[in-house]
Amino acid sequence: MLLIPCPHCGPRNSSEFRYAGEGRRRPDVTAVMPPEWRSYLYERRNAAGWVRESWYHTFGCRRFFAVERDTVTNAVRPGSPA
Amino acid sequence: MSAPYRLEPQPGEVLDRSQPVRFRWDGREYDGLAGDTIVSALLASGVDCFSRSFKYSRPRGVLTASFVDPNCTVQVGDEPNVRAAHRRLAAGMDVRPQNAWPSLRYDARVVNSALARFLTAGFYYKTFMKPQRLWPVYASVLSRFASGGCTRPDAAHAYYDKRYAHADVVVAGAGPAGLAAAVAAARAGARVMLVEEEYDVGGHLRWGDPADLARLAELRAVLVAEPGIEVLTDSVVTGRYDDNWLAILQRGRPGGGERLVKTRAATLVVAAGLVERPYVFAGNDLPGVVLGTAVRRLVNLHAVRPGSRAVVFTANEEGEAAAADLQRVGVEVVRTVDARRGEGIARALGRRHVQGVELTDGWRHAVDLLVTSTGWTAPTSLLNMAGNRPVWDPTAARFRPGPELPDTVFATGGIVGDGTTDELVAHGQAVGEAAAARARGERPAPVPPLGVRPHPAMFRGPTHGFVDMSEDVTSKDIVAAAAEGYDSSELVKRFTTATMGPSQGKLEVVNTVAVLGEAVGRNMEQLGTTVWRPPYAPISLGALAGRIFEPVRRSPMHAWHEAHGATPLVAGQWIRPDSYGDPMAEASAVRRAVGIIDVTPLGKLELQGPDVPKLLNLVYVNKWSKLDVGSVRYGVMCAEDGVVFDDGVTGRLADEHYLMSTTSSGAAAVWEWLENWLQTEHADWQVHVTPLTTAYASINVAGPRSRELLARLVEGIDLSPEAFPYMRVRTGRIAGVENCLAWRIGFTGELSYEIHVPASYGLHVWETLLRTGDDLGVVAFGVEAQRILRLEKGHLIVGQDTDGLTKAFSAGLEGLVKLDKDDFAGRPELVWGSERLSDAPRLVALQPLDPHLVPAEGSQIVHDHSRIAGRVTSSRRSPELGRSICLAQVEPDLAAPGSVVTIVLPDGSRAEATVQPQLAHVDPEGSRLRG
Amino acid sequence: MTARKPARYSAFDLVRRGLTRRDWPRSWREHDLNSSYDVVVIGAGVHGLACAYYLAANHGITNVAVLDKGYLGGGGSGRNTAIIRSNYLTPEGVAFYDRSVKLYENLAAELNFNVMFEQRGHLTLAHNDSSLRTMRWRAEVNKLQGVNSEVIGPADIKRLVPYMDVSPESRYPILGALYHPPGGTIRHDAVNWGYARAADVLGVQIHQNTEVLGIDVVGDRVTGVRTNRGAVAAPIVVNCTAGWASLVSALAGVTLPITTYPLQAAVTEPVKTFLRTVVVSGTLHVYVSQTDRGELVFGASVDPYPSYSMRGSLEFTEELAGHVLELMPGIASLRVLRQWAGLCDMTPDYSPIMGVTPVDGFLLDVGWGTYGFKAGPVSGETMAELVATGKTPELIASFDLARFADGRLVGEKGAAAVGH
């Protein structure tokens, strides 16, 4: 059970949260071409090591926020603001 | 029965001599004493064989006299796999051997012993191949050899509960080091939980000499005097998970159940001590071959005389102490064979019990007890789970924790090194202080390490013997496996199954690796150990599950539904009325007069703020900028890949005030979806979302007389078609209840009003509707009738008539999608999809040519006899049309109105159906709905 | 490269060697790493070993090296719960897995290694009308493809699994099940070892403890790999890894639509056999079978967040236990002995990625999610055909990497939420 550092509520069990994915930037939909859009939809860095990711505090403040996590050791630290 | 092997009272014994305990073993009655384990009581009575081995059916007796004893697993009543060398006796226990057929004394499978040379490890990989279809027959014979106990489908369910504890420091193991650590941490102000696997604290001091007992008494007195420590005995820290999330198994709870205690410890101190390692030689599994620690436990804790004439084979003080204990209680020790002097044992002799021992120098002694004390294994499992890899220490001849421990995990005691009791206590104390400091967030100074004493590296004698007794794996099997290429610790483990049994390698892993090393010419450092996986001690499914907690949601009208014979329908978390007995009649009543249905589970989100229209435009595929106050609109939501994921209506209640409805199952996901857009993409938009699903009870009043019915109850709302037309929302008083909402929409295809009333008035409004509408023929209808009605109307259900790849264009919703909007979720995919719309499957309405045939939902539609070209997504008999009606997804070239498609029914027969001009089977013009 | 005469495995040979006390020879040899091979396969799991075996057996291509950073079969191939079935949802999926089941049925004889395939039947429970509808859908697709599947009711379920609570009062009442008689279990290690031994006999080299650290690409062509034991030239490199597929592909500059999640499993202490069929419940996120050793083997869905950590979690066992006891309340006193995790490369459409990449000669057999083991033989067979002929076999055409950029996803997602 990870301890997730919620910036609004403090550290809480990961069962209160939902993992919301790698941080990604949404392309401009009016100009986007299929390769770029589908890369946004489907491709992930999937890095082994420290990653910046988004979590949602479902059973808490219901805020999305960033954390940094080492996907090899599951060590977690607060994410720097985007 | 008498207890011929029971000794006179011993100084450290845990027995209550005033309390005899009667129990049954293998069908006969025995007497033990309170404080006995099942095994100590049986040993005292002269029983020496507790199980037959898994493969060769060899008789097995006590080996370690502790929880990990591989030979003492028994059935107690309905409970399989009870560790009889640990489990305390209880009056009336019915204890049976587990794997003996027909009996423990005469086991038929003993013939396997004679065949041992053919049944080497992994033999089954090399035979039973032909014919392949007969393997299950062989397998079912082999599965009779399964070594476990029995279960019953209706076994009584013990009461299990869980506990969340709050400890700063958890100490695993209450030997001298663990005790000292707990006391030191508590004195430093930490809340401490001290967890001990045995029934009492003290570790090896408990079965020690008078000086040990005196020291234990001092330590215990200090412990008892310290208020900040909770002590759990007969309990084990079974797992250390991410961020020191600890699982503690508390056994022996009143009623026999186990309890799972969970805690987020700031620091964990592992003081698990040492496990004595068996020695590998011919006959090492015979009853009467026991470990030195087992002798000391049996003599000192349970006052059992484990034999009459003994040879003690030792490489350390434990063996010497065992020899001294034996002599003290009158067992003749005919020879102490000291490995440190180069002496050794070659084999144990005997068939059912040790009758003699042959030494490496050729001497033979007739004995009934052979004691070995040849080394230790550090149970580093919890440290392993914390990411630490143990390293081999050639001086101590055991694996020890590696240098890299997380800063929230500490280790002390035998697991890290050797020492006198004073040294262990001093180290434990220093570690306890450091653990408390770390728990306060400080960075404690490193604790000087505990030293190690030299110990000869001893694993196997000059003969082959058992390396894993619970799996019946010999050292010869390991050597043979290595020769076949299974030459790493992991491969040899998988091939021979050594270390895979109930003690999970605590006794076996080091010998397995050592024998492998011998075979492949590599040392322990090179081979390393296998990874220890949780749990550290086995834990029952019941304890893990706890009191199974699966909450259900019920609407405020639920009791009414139950009282009126509703068939319950489990819909995710909700329990809903499927019907009240006759769904066809309910549907007809709605078409004819009026019906009411409880739609409380419908998701409801209140949206407030000036930027709500922007949000709606973004999440729905259709346009929302010009929704007037008092209007509602149907909308479909797509994910970013263009796939439909929810639908519902949203109404504008006031200038900056909207109510959105979602599907019942989609309510939580939609809410999160909205928050995601608002928080991560458009943080500048002013919209506040409040979930109101259970704040309102929701009732749909449907049917041609719904207006008439509602008019009798409504105040402040003009229900006339001109004042309150289709797709409008109004607020007012209903049945005397303020702040009710009514919107005119119609999933059923009838004139209908969906009313939302404050939840606490739900039942009142429901009953008032029924009472007031009695003369109009009002009925309550359930989910099944609603499904019939909506199918007649051709309204799709997201998730049923769509699937994980259905985009809005193929769902029959093309008309809704507004690609001229700059941006909305899924837009790019829908734009590109619209360009190759011709390929996408289409949702169509079908009517089977045979009006009585209702194809099962999921039936396939085929093209050219067998190629799958679609499927029936919804199918019912229509009471209105008196015939079967369907919705289906079909390939575009089958979708033209009037086409006849072939449906393959579950029984293999085929039926034809005609594609309808539109999705609605009933009232395609919508005159009922809009009337 | 050099073939050898195999030592036959049979009851007769077991007896003969038992009598003469002669050891069996090595099942696979150790080799120095050559400076070049015709084909390098990365990953000595069931996919890589099967690919190498079929290259040699079906196409005579034997100058093949299988490289693995650990021991053979140590990844997903040795960590899965060894359930075999072909009752998929899409016609493509059914055809593909059906071929795999057929290969598994004859594998013991073909490899001369008992892989212990037991077609004991596979039950997927439906606890609500929507999953019952999906079961019907799957059954109908299966039957049209010649695969034996049928929807059965609670009474038949109770007959197959007497421990099952089929009462309508239970929290998640069992409304029916998809029964798939050809489904069953296999001994996963035996499959890995059998392929390794058979490939070795034909001359394939298996290199354990050989980690690929780099993939050489010149222009748009792969030219070889760099390992901890030196560089190897090869015109064809097949990525058959799981768990590390996206990292290995990144070495060749190929980005994959993959996220890696741990999938956990657990096993209980043995008890006498009481469960013959494999039982799966999607609603309760659990699948369970009993081994011939008497242990119950459990699995569930992948973890809620991606990770390369394989340490396992307590909440996994807690939820698992709760759900298992919902199904079979009588086994509460059974104890969990061990839990472990493997890594699953999840793709957006719950279907694998097989075939060519923008880098010539760099081929993929990855993205196997939670269902890779059951596809081992057919994947090896089709990938070997692709390597040998240069043409993508029809059976795997829809699993190409380009489908993501083209927006042609495979529709298996609906059936694969708990895909066992």
Chains with ≥3 CB–CB distances under 8 Å to A:
B, C
Most C CBs within 10 Å: which of B129, B464, B504, B909, as the mutation test of the C interface?
Answer: B129
Does C72 sit within 8 Å of B132, measured CB to CB? no
Q: What element of type H or E holds B829?
A: helix B827-835
Summarised one tens digit per residue, pLDDT across range B252-309 is: 877 668 999 999 999 999 999 999 999 999 999 999 999 999 999 999 999 999 999 9
Tokens representing C302? 């992948």
Summarised one tens digit per residue, pLDDT across range C259-274 is: 999 999 999 999 999 9
Q: Is C401 helix (H, G, I), strand (E, B) or coil?
A: coil
Most B CBs within 10 Å: which of C185, C333, C398, as the mutation test of the B interface?
Answer: C333
What one-letter code names the amino acid at B883? R
Summarised one tens digit per residue, pLDDT across range B461-495 is: 999 999 999 999 999 999 999 999 999 999 999 99
pLDDT at B132 (0 to 100): 65
Is residue A53 within 8 angstroms of chain B, CB to CB?
Answer: no
Please give the average per-residue pLDDT across B158-173, as a whole number.
92
Summarised one tens digit per residue, pLDDT across range B380-401 is: 999 999 888 999 999 999 999 9
Among chain C residues, the shortest Cα distance to B260 is held by C318
Residue C418: is its pLDDT beyond 70?
A: no
pLDDT at C1 (0 to 100): 63
pLDDT bin (cut points 50, 70, 90) of residue B191 is: very high
Provide, rounded to the nearest whole percent, the portion of chain B with pLDDT above 70.
Answer: 97
pLDDT at B108 (0 to 100): 67
pLDDT mean across residues, chain B = 93
Interacting residues of B766 by C-beta distance below 8 A, sequence separation 6+: B557, B560, B596, B598, B697, B699
DSSP string of C389-400, one letter each residue: HSS--GGGGGG-
Model ipTM value? 0.96
Rounded CA gap, B476 and B466, in Å? 8
* Beta-bridge mates of residue B359: B345
Residue B315: is its pLDDT beyond 70?
A: yes
Q: How far is B826 from chain A (nearest CA, A)?
A: 9
pLDDT bin (cut points 50, 70, 90) of residue C417 is: very low
Chain A residues closer than 8 Å to C258 by CB: 44, 46
Per mean pLDDT, which range of B604-613, C166-175, C234-243, C245-254 is the poorest? C166-175
Does C24 sit within 8 Å of B549, measured CB to CB? no
Please give the average per-residue pLDDT across C232-255, as a whole number.
97
Is residue A48 within 8 angstroms of chain B, CB to CB?
Answer: no
pLDDT at B799 (0 to 100): 84
Q: Order of strands across the sheet with B332-338?
A: B289-291, B369-373, B309-314, B332-338
Does A32 sit within 8 Å of B828, measured CB to CB? yes
pLDDT bin (cut points 50, 70, 90) of residue C412 is: low
Question: pTM here?
Answer: 0.94
Summarised one tens digit per residue, pLDDT across range A48-75 is: 999 999 999 999 999 999 999 999 999 9
pLDDT at C415 (0 to 100): 44
CB pairs under 8 A between A and C: 55
User: If we measure between CA atoms, which residue out of B833, B812, B816, B793 comes closest to residue B921?
Assistant: B793
pLDDT at C416 (0 to 100): 41
Among chain C residues, the shortest Cα distance to A19 is held by C305
Residue B837: is its pLDDT beyond 70?
A: no
Q: How far is C18 from chain B (nearest CA, A)?
A: 5
pLDDT at B110 (0 to 100): 67
Residue B411: is its pLDDT beyond 60?
A: yes
Q: How far is A34 from chain B (nearest CA, A)?
A: 8
> Judging by beta carbons within 10 Å of its beta carbon (0-12, 13-18, 19+), is residue C417 exposed, middle or buried?
middle
Q: How far is A40 from chain C (nearest CA, A)?
A: 10
pLDDT at C419 (0 to 100): 43
Does C133 sit within 8 Å of B857, measured CB to CB? yes
Does A1 sit within 8 Å of B680, measured CB to CB? no
What are the φ and ψ backbone dihedral angles of C271, each rounded to 5 degrees? -135, 165
Residue C413: is its pLDDT beyond 70?
A: no
Cα-only R_g, chain B: 38
Tokens representing C173? 């009442």
Chain C residues closer than 8 Å to A43 by CB: 255-257, 404
Q: Which residues of C lie inside 8 Å of A (Cβ-Cβ)? A: 244, 246-247, 255-260, 304-309, 311, 313-315, 348, 404-407
Sign of CA dihedral B434, B251, B498, B298: positive
What are the φ and ψ backbone dihedral angles of B568, each rounded to 5 degrees? -75, 145
pLDDT at B124 (0 to 100): 82
Contact B21, B33 (CB under 8 A): yes
Is residue B407 within 8 angstroms of chain A, CB to CB?
Answer: no
Per mean pLDDT, which range of A40-49, B810-819, C125-134 is the poorest? B810-819
Please give the average per-residue pLDDT across C182-203, as a whole number.
96
pLDDT at B467 (0 to 100): 97
Q: What is the DSSP letter of C195?
A: H
Rounded CA gap, B592 and C241, in Å? 63
Distances (CA, A) of B568 to B484, C153, C169: 60, 18, 10
Among chain B residues, the shortest Cα distance to A40 is held by B640
Does A43 sit within 8 Å of C256, measured CB to CB? yes
Rounded CA gap, B386 and C141, in Å? 47
**CA torsion, ordered B645, B648, B652, B656, to nearest 10 deg:** -30
Q: How far is C332 from chain A (nearest CA, A)?
A: 24
Does B243 sit within 8 Å of A56, measured CB to CB? no
Please give the average per-residue pLDDT across C103-110, as a whole number.
94
Summarised one tens digit per residue, pLDDT across range C5-60 is: 878 888 888 888 878 877 888 999 999 999 999 999 999 999 999 999 999 999 99
Residue B418: is its pLDDT beyond 90?
A: yes
**CA torsion, ordered B352, B357, B360, B362, to nearest 10 deg:** -110
Does C271 sit within 8 Å of B148, measured CB to CB? yes
Most confident region among B166-175, B387-396, B856-865, C307-316 by mean pLDDT: B166-175
pLDDT bin (cut points 50, 70, 90) of residue A40 is: very high
Among chain B residues, the shortest Cα distance to C209 is held by B488
Tokens representing B124? 């089954």
Q: Of C137, C173, C324, which is closest to B570 when you measure between CB atoms?
A: C173
Rounded CA gap, B79 and B255, in Å? 13
pLDDT bin (cut points 50, 70, 90) of residue B918 is: very high
Summarised one tens digit per residue, pLDDT across range C78-93 is: 999 999 999 988 888 8
Summarised one tens digit per residue, pLDDT across range C276-300 is: 999 999 889 999 999 988 999 999 9
CB atoms within 10 A of CB B45: 19
pLDDT at C20 (0 to 100): 80
User: If we measure between CA atoms, which residue out of B409, B372, B370, B373 comes closest to residue B388?
Assistant: B409
* Beta-bridge mates of residue B699: B598, B755
* Beta-bridge mates of residue B192: B169, B229
pLDDT at B894 (0 to 100): 93
Is residue A54 within 8 angstroms of chain B, CB to CB?
Answer: yes
Contact B258, B365 (CB under 8 A): no
pLDDT bin (cut points 50, 70, 90) of residue B459 is: very high
pLDDT at B453 (0 to 100): 95
Chains with ≥3 CB–CB distances under 8 Å to C:
A, B
**CA torsion, ordered B893, B899, B900, B906, to nearest 10 deg:** 50
CB atoms within 10 A of CB B171: 37
Does A29 sit within 8 Å of B827, measured CB to CB? yes
Does A42 sit within 8 Å of C348, measured CB to CB? yes
Q: What is the DSSP letter of B449?
A: P
pLDDT mean across residues, chain A = 93
Does B832 sit within 8 Å of A34, measured CB to CB? yes
pLDDT mean across residues, chain C = 93
Residue B498: is its pLDDT beyond 80?
A: yes
Residue B123: is its pLDDT beyond 90?
A: no
pLDDT bin (cut points 50, 70, 90) of residue C420 is: very low
